[in-house]
Structure 1
Amino acid sequence: MQEVSLSSAMVQAKCPRCRKGNLFNVSVFSFLKLTEINGKCPDCGATITPEPDFFYGAMYISYAFSVALMVTVFIVLNFFFEKAPVSSYVLTVLAGNILLMPLMLRYSKVLYLYGLGKLKYDPKALEK
């Protein structure tokens, strides 16, 4: 059986224990069911949500993503335009947040689960 690297499993939003099962019911890039995550891994059966409010801490990571997007927009607009109107900053940040919302929400949960979750990689998890 081929082992999946940690970075590949995180990018593909796979289970931290087996790195095969999907964390989300729909695609990571989908606007449908943004906040729903599987309770158990469909492949190894590991409990992904250890407690009911576990993913509230992922809001801080999502906030950091939004701040990083805002800073990036400010730097890019200041680089290309000498005196851009405030409305262009606001509209660009708003559009970027709306378009990237599924990625920011979902990857904040993935990072939080991999960083603070108790699930550790077990290459033999599917055999159990």
Structure 2
Amino acid sequence: MSHTLFHILKAECPNCHKGKIFDKQSILTIGFPKMNKQCDHCHTQFNKEPGYFFGAMYVNYMLNVAQGILIYFLIRPFFDGPFDLRMFPIIAGFLILFTFFNIRLSRLLWIYIFKNYAN
């Protein structure tokens, strides 16, 4: 499992772990991800069918909700009560900051979830 997480964070091909999924090397790159159509090494197709990455939107939503909850609990001790409207801009700012990371990570997770489907 730890090897899989390592390969996901390095954005490597789920099949051979040698080719890159994105054009840019780092998962922390700012901007909308430009994906390779296939692995340079084993020629695995990353986009299996039209609309394949619609499911990655749900993974992205899950990541945003989890991060929002985590940020809420991290900043909660700095406010008087459990609900303060000043928390919303802080949480929103962090979620906007994580946007490009989440897009890449959600696509990577989606590819790895279905890596053996319709190779």
Moved over 4 A (4+): none
Partner of 1:92: 90
Residue of structure 2 equivalent to 1:58? 56
* Structural mapping, 1:97-108, within 5 Å: 97-108=95-106
State how far apart, in whole Å, the 1-side matches of 2:75 and 2:13 are: 38
- Could you tell me the TM-score, scaled by structure 1's length? 0.79
What is the distance in 1 between the residues matched to 2:33 and 2:7?
Answer: 19
**TM-score, length basis structure 2:** 0.85
After superposition, what is the alpha-carbon deviation per residue over 1:14-49, rounded to whole angstroms, capped at 9, x for unaligned? 0001101111111321123x2432110122211111
Greater RCO, CA 8 A, separation 6+: 1
Q: Is the 8 A contact 2:27 2:104 kept in 1?
A: yes
Q: 2:89 & 2:68 partners in 1: Cα distance?
A: 11
Return the offset for 1:7: 2.1
Mapped partners of 1:85, 1:7: distance in 2: 36
Q: Deviations over 1:79-106 (max 9, x none)?
A: 23223741x3121122111211111111
After superposition, residues 1-128 of structure 1 pair within 5 angstroms as 5-26=3-24, 27-32=26-31, 34-83=32-81, 85-86=84-85, 88-118=86-116
The structural deviation recorded for 1:115 is: 0.6
Q: Verify the 8 A CA contact 1:73 1:89 in the aligned structure 2.
A: no
Please give the per-residue CA displacement for 1:48-107, whole angstroms capped at 9, x wherever unaligned.
111121011000010011111111122122223223741x31211221112111111111
Instruction: Provide the rounded CA distance (Å) in 1 between the counterparts of 2:110 and 2:93.
Output: 25
CA RMSD in angstroms comes to 1.9
d(CA) in 2 for partners of 1:16, 1:10: 8
- Separation in structure 1 between the aligned mates of residue 40 and residue 28 of structure 2, nearest angstrom: 20
Structure 1, gaps ≥5 residues long: 120-128
